[in-house]
Structure 1
């Protein structure tokens, strides 16, 4: 993965959210007014044309952009629910241009750690502060390279409290990591978060990502490789429960394309499709951090 420049995909997700926010309330799947302010209007206009004209779907496949949007919406909804139940901290792993710290109701009462590679984070932080002004005190930036640096030390130095109930949001990241980097991050969460803490992340299915005959997988691998963000991690269908329970988690809930469609594509959205090739999983820390 090239890390001499900021992540291209990070800004791309903010553009997708901004496009969706610009739609009429009856059509939009999510609302992110902060992203509208962060991205350039020319980028939004060009990208909206690519999506609305059908070019994006013809290149990557029908339902891909819908999965991206519903991934955002589902994680928003789970985070809002967890905040109502009571959270002390939120850790956004591979945060990029994630704006949840500034727009989810009630999140201002927690500490929110935005964790990302130092190069991407420097770029993002400069954009945030230039566009939005001084950020509120509950927002904490933490620079870490998942492949070479220890997450535990970097978070501890930033003020992370292992005794606090925490939700770890790991969106759009695992597929770019090695299996060992995924394992190390999950091991940190299982060992350093209090009982009742949770993790949520999305992942690709192996039979899709590594299928040479799958048009979407072939093209997304080519595009991400070209921009230095190649894909590597995936799980077999049905394997995530054992994968997480064997790593210190419980209460595993896996939501695939069909689950997302049932949750959100009702009413005027009922005919829309979601690409089947990835899923979102939510789980609780089984043991949790114990004070010595």
Structure 2
């Protein structure tokens, strides 16, 4: 047993059930430490620090949603849910409404995975298909039973960089209507990386996600996050990157792993 198995950052026994076949096979292979190191090294070559940063980000939002529910949030909404499995593995979410929102094709895939695993969608979870370009998010959520007057934890993880600024602001128009006591967690990619001003030793990642495929389009700067959130009535409580993740998660576990500076994670409150 190596250090990763002795001190896992994330406890997730369900993940392999939700993964696509190729990723599931890779995860199975990665159970062997030597093969895991080969996979990790290949990933790190293209995107230095991605491996550990994703684990820290997952752990951070696991902790954040758990703490938010214990502090009074009565509902959880996961925007761009994809194959996220928090609703099914975190004890804090066992008895509260969770709305998983995504494009119709992604919701269909999630529905199939849940039926294969549980024979049905768990009663506390509602899958919400939304065409973000044509439908109003608040109206669709209302149609699916979301109570907009209840304090809610909103999670928007690893999504904003794929959107235009217009679409990000449209979502924040909705988030701005959240009641007092609500909380928000989201990630962003640094704007100076998208512009090429600072590549943070990740030239290959910039080529793959920005210049070649144009997949990443929206970014923010740590200096502007507070003002951006204030526009929509939110108060920033944390904005974490590589340094903070290292101090909070890696150092206490005596791990020495690189972390990317490209992506940051934010928590905010509606006061």
Q: Same fold (TM over 0.5)?
A: yes
Select the residue among 116, 135, 139 that pairs with 2:125: 139
Residue 207 in structure 1 maps to residue 187 in structure 2: no
TM-score (norm 2): 0.88
User: How far did residue 55 of structure 1 move?
Assistant: 1.0
Equivalent position of 1:290 in the other structure: none
Alignment gaps of 5+ in structure 1: 1-21, 287-292
1:125-170 per-residue CA deviation (whole Å, 9 max, x = no partner) reads 2122113322321100001122332111110101010111100000
Q: What SS does the aligned partner of 1:109 have? A: coil
Looking at structure 2, the residues matched to 23 and 113 of structure 1 have their Cα atoms a distance apart, in angstroms, of 35
Call closer, same or farther: CA 1:47–1:172 in 2, change over 3 Å: farther
TM-score (norm 1): 0.82
Equivalent position of 2:43 in the other structure: 56
Alignment gaps of 5+ in structure 2: none
1:54-109 per-residue CA deviation (whole Å, 9 max, x = no partner) reads 11111222x11111111111000011111111221100000001111111112122
Residue 42 in structure 1 maps to residue 29 in structure 2: no
Judge which range, 49-58 or 113-122, deviates more.
Answer: 49-58
Equivalent position of 1:129 in the other structure: 115
Call closer, same or farther: CA 1:224–1:235 in 2, change over 3 Å: closer
2:154–2:185: 8 Å Cα contact kept in structure 1?
yes
Call closer, same or farther: CA 1:211–1:220 in 2, change over 3 Å: closer
Equivalent position of 1:253 in the other structure: 238
1:232-284 per-residue CA deviation (whole Å, 9 max, x = no partner) reads 01012321011111221114321121111110012443422211111111111
Count residues with an aligned counterpart: 262
Equivalent position of 1:285 in the other structure: 270
User: How far did residue 220 of structure 1 move?
Assistant: 5.1
Within a 5 Å distance, the mapping from 1:261-280 to structure 2 comes to 261-280=246-265
1:244–1:250: 8 Å Cα contact kept in structure 2?
yes
User: Cα RMSD over matched residues?
Assistant: 2.4
Select the residue among 70, 81, 93 that pairs with 2:79: 93
1:209–1:217: 8 Å Cα contact kept in structure 2?
no
2:68–2:183: 8 Å Cα contact kept in structure 1?
no
User: How far did residue 210 of structure 1 move?
Assistant: 2.4
Looking at structure 2, the residues matched to 263 and 242 of structure 1 have their Cα atoms a distance apart, in angstroms, of 26
User: How far did residue 42 of structure 1 move?
Assistant: 1.7
